Each structure stands twice: as structure tokens, then as C-alpha cells.
A = this chain, B = another copy of it.
Amino acid sequence: MKIKVIVDAFGGDNAPLEILKGCRYAIDELDCEIILSGNREIIKKISNENKISLNGMSIVHTTDIITMEDEASIILKEKRNSSMAKGLELLKDGAGSAFVSAGNSGALLMGATFINKRIASIKRPAFAPLIPKYNGYFLLIDSGANVDCRPEILEQFALMGSIYLKHMLNIAKPRVGLANIGIEEHKGGTLQQETYKLLKQNPTINFVGNIEAREIPMDAADVVVTDGFTGNMILKTYEGVAISLITKFKEIFSLNFKTKIAAALISKELKQFKNNLSSSEQGGAPILGVKQAVYKSHGNADAKAIKNAIASAIKYSQSKIIENMEIK
């Protein structure tokens, strides 16, 4: 029997068209089935208009939608019948193995925590995207779920991140670094100083010490541990600088005849470079610490990002990641 993935057809800026396209790619490439949660009439209309076959997809009808502007808690109250809440319920009831949504992050986090539940021993679920670095990827945990954190929470992030990377990227002993303003043990605030001690003492964590943000894009660590506020700043600065540099490069290449020839000569390599950098390669981030595989795709995800998010969610749900976190 094929694996079934539940997808929020109405999450994100490009829903439902790009979501439907992404699901189509996923079914064609990944040997899976999709359960869409959302408005049946609109899904049928959009897929008809855009000639997207719904073969391999079933629809669980619901009309409400959580917007990007909604407060997170709405998912447990007024919008308990939204496409996102419905998707999480379907996952809870075992209709599928994983749930993917490109919708409101806060609502998804709250919904996953209260509908699908936290792993008993885990204090706080976290967003943990894989981010391209100079060679390969690193995992940033937490990237925005928890603004305020205590040292024990960061220690759990280190453990969850290590388990995730072990299974997703086959890294036997992922190197864990603590994001800080300097490498010495006494650097940073109380949170960093106390976390340093915990990570250093924990024999199941391969702690490589504090790492400065400047070293993150190099090969400083496999798992970068931080509170959600700082993690969000790192993630978004990362994206912003990459986008602005690539935009500048494009401008340079279109300046004049000579630079346009240069662009043509190097087009294949540039495309590869852009693909490696692109956030759509991983398609999003898991919410680690939840009992089931809930995967957040970017708000601006296109079809390719959705397909990749589904692929990552399948791999995540088929691994022993959650099981291993439960034991810890």
C-alpha cells in the first residue's frame, strides 16, 4: 500500500494552485497518495482550469481557511474546521502518515502541539529547517517557534536536532554548535552560558562548542542550537543576504553586451548554484517534538517546494526519528 500524505490545500500565499501542482509532482515522482484538506469545489475548479489531474488525490471537504494574519490560537477555537486543523485531525486519526502545510506557522505549531500532542518528555516543539551551507546543509533549531527559552529547552533542541540529522542525512554523530557572540565558554548571556554547561556534560551530544554566526555558512557544525528569536534572525538574515546578492549579480550580468555574454557562458553553472541555495530544495521544516510528522512548508512555497516538502515529510515519517525522541 502506498504511503498517504495529508496536504493543506489552502495554506500559504500560492494556495491552492501551487499546492495542487506540487501534489501532482509528488504523486508522479514519489509513489505516494495525497489527501487534500480544503474546499472541494474550489480544488476541482482550479485543477480543471489548470489541467491538473487529481488522480491519486482524495479530498476531505472543509470551507474555512486560516490566514497568515490570524492569531495562532484560532486553530483551536473559531477555526477548528479550517483546512489546516482538519488536516491535523486527519493525521491524528491515522488517515495519513504525515501532514504538510504552507500556512500560518504559529497556528500550525499550536495545532500540532495540541491536536497531535507533544512527545511526553519534550518541553517545547521547535521548527528545524535544513539550510544550505558552503558544503551541504546544517540544521537550525529553533528557527522561530520559541521566543523565550531556558537552557534545558536548548539542550532538548540539541538532542532532537541530532536525532533528526542522523536519520535524514545519515550523519552518525552530528556536530552540535551553540550560536553565540564568541567561542569562549563565558561568552553570551545567562542562557548561552548555562546551555554551554549542559551541552558539554551530555554524553549523547557531540558538542563542538560555541560558534559565531560568521562561521555558520562555512562548515562549523551540523546542528546549530539557539532560541527561536535568535534563530529567526539568523534564518531571515541568511535568506535576505542571499536574495539581495543574487539580485545584484543578475543586475551585473545584464549591464551590457560583454556581461550578457559572460552570463550566457556561465548559465548552466549559475543555475546549479541557485538551485543549491534555494530554500525550495528542502521545502520547509519539520516541527520536531510532536508525536506525528508535521511539516511546515514556506509561506511562499511554489509547486517544487511543496513536492520537496512532501518528500521530506515522507522520509521523516518513515524513519525512526519520533520513536527515538520518545525514548530520550
Binding site for B on A (CB under 8 A): 133-134, 144, 147-148, 179, 181, 188-189, 212-218, 228-230, 232-245, 247-249, 252-253, 255, 258-259, 261-263, 265-266, 269-270, 273, 277
Q: Are B244 and A147 in contact (CB under 8 A)?
A: no
Q: Are A179 and B233 in contact (CB under 8 A)?
A: yes
Kindly report how many copies of this chain are found in the complex they form together: 2
**Cβ-defined partner of A147 (8 Å) among B134, B144, B188, B262:** B188
C-alpha gap A213/B262 in the complex (Å)? 32
Q: Are A244 and B262 in contact (CB under 8 A)?
A: no
Among A236, A248, A263, chain B packs the most CB atoms within 10 A around the CB of A236
The answer to whether residues A240 and B216 also contact, given A229-B188, A230-B230, A233-B179 and a CB cut-off of 8 A, is yes
14 A–B contacts from the bound complex (CB under 8 Å):
A216-B237, A216-B240, A217-B241, A230-B230, A230-B233, A238-B241, A241-B245, A242-B245, A245-B277, A252-B270, A253-B266, A258-B266, A262-B266, A265-B265
Q: Enumerate chain B residues within 8 angstroms of A179, measured Cβ to Cβ.
A: 233
C-alpha gap A241/B215 in the complex (Å)? 9
C-alpha gap A134/B247 in the complex (Å)? 9
**Cβ-defined partner of A244 (8 Å) among B188, B218, B255, B263:** B218
C-alpha gap A262/B260 in the complex (Å)? 9
**Cβ-defined partner of A241 (8 Å) among B212, B242, B249, B258:** B242
C-alpha gap A275/B235 in the complex (Å)? 25
The answer to whether residues A217 and B243 also contact, given A253-B266, A266-B262 and a CB cut-off of 8 A, is yes
